Chains A and B, each alone.
Chain A
Amino acid sequence: MKRFYVMLVGLALLGAGALYLASRDRTVPGTVEGPMPAVPGDGFGGYVMGSDSAPVEVVEYSDFECPFCARFANLQMPAVRRQLIETGLVRWRFRDFPLPGHQYSRYAAHAAQCAGEQNRFWEMHDALFADHSWAQTGKNPRGLFNSMAQRVGLDMGAYAACMAANRYAARIEASRLEGEARGVGGTPTFFVNGQPFRANPTSDAFKALADSLTGR
Chain B
Amino acid sequence: MRHRQAIAVLALGGFFVSLYLWLWKIGKLGTLQCGSGGCERVQTSAYADFLGLPVALHGVVGYAALLVVALVGLQPRFLGQRTPTLVLAALASVGLLFSAYLTWLEFAVIHAWCRWCLGSAAIIVVIWATALIGLRRRPD
A residues in contact (CB < 8 Å) with B: 1, 4, 7-8, 11-12, 15-16, 18-19, 22-23, 25-29, 139-144, 146, 149-150, 156-157, 159-161, 163-165
Chain A, interface SS category: helix
How far, in whole Å, are A139 and B24 apart by their CA atoms in the complex? 12
- What are the residues of chain B within 8 A of A22 when measuring CB–CB? 20, 23, 29-30, 33
B residues in contact (CB < 8 Å) with A: 5, 8-9, 12-13, 15-16, 19-20, 23-31, 33, 37, 40-41, 43-46, 74, 110-112
How far, in whole Å, are A109 and B29 apart by their CA atoms in the complex? 20
A23 and B23 form a contact (CB under 8 A): yes
How far, in whole Å, are A27 and B111 apart by their CA atoms in the complex? 27
- What are the residues of chain B within 8 A of A146 when measuring CB–CB? 25, 44
- What are the residues of chain A within 8 A of B40 when measuring CB–CB? 160-161, 163-164
How far, in whole Å, are A22 and B27 apart by their CA atoms in the complex? 12
- What are the residues of chain B within 8 A of A11 when measuring CB–CB? 9, 12-13
Return the chain B residue nearest A145 by Cβ. B27
How far, in whole Å, are A27 and B33 apart by their CA atoms in the complex? 12
A27 and B31 form a contact (CB under 8 A): yes
A159 and B12 form a contact (CB under 8 A): no
User: In the complex, given contacts A4-B74, A156-B44, what are 8 additional A-B residue pairs having Cβ atoms less than 8 angstroms apart?
Assistant: A11-B9, A11-B12, A12-B12, A15-B12, A15-B19, A19-B23, A25-B30, A161-B37
A160 and B41 form a contact (CB under 8 A): yes
How far, in whole Å, are A27 and B43 apart by their CA atoms in the complex? 18
How far, in whole Å, are A65 and B82 apart by their CA atoms in the complex? 58
B41 and A142 form a contact (CB under 8 A): no
- What are the residues of chain B within 8 A of A143 when measuring CB–CB? 25-27
Distance (whole angstroms) from the CB of A13 to the closest CB of chain B? 11
Distance (whole angstroms) from the CB of B72 to the closest CB of chain A? 14
Distance (whole angstroms) from the CB of A144 to the closest CB of chain B? 6
> Which among A7, A8, A139 has the highest number of chain B CB atoms within 10 Å?
A8
How far, in whole Å, are A26 and B27 apart by their CA atoms in the complex? 10
Distance (whole angstroms) from the CB of B138 to the closest CB of chain A? 20
A157 and B33 form a contact (CB under 8 A): no
- Mind listing 7 A-B residue pairs with CB under 8 Å? A15-B19, A18-B16, A18-B20, A27-B31, A143-B27, A146-B44, A164-B41
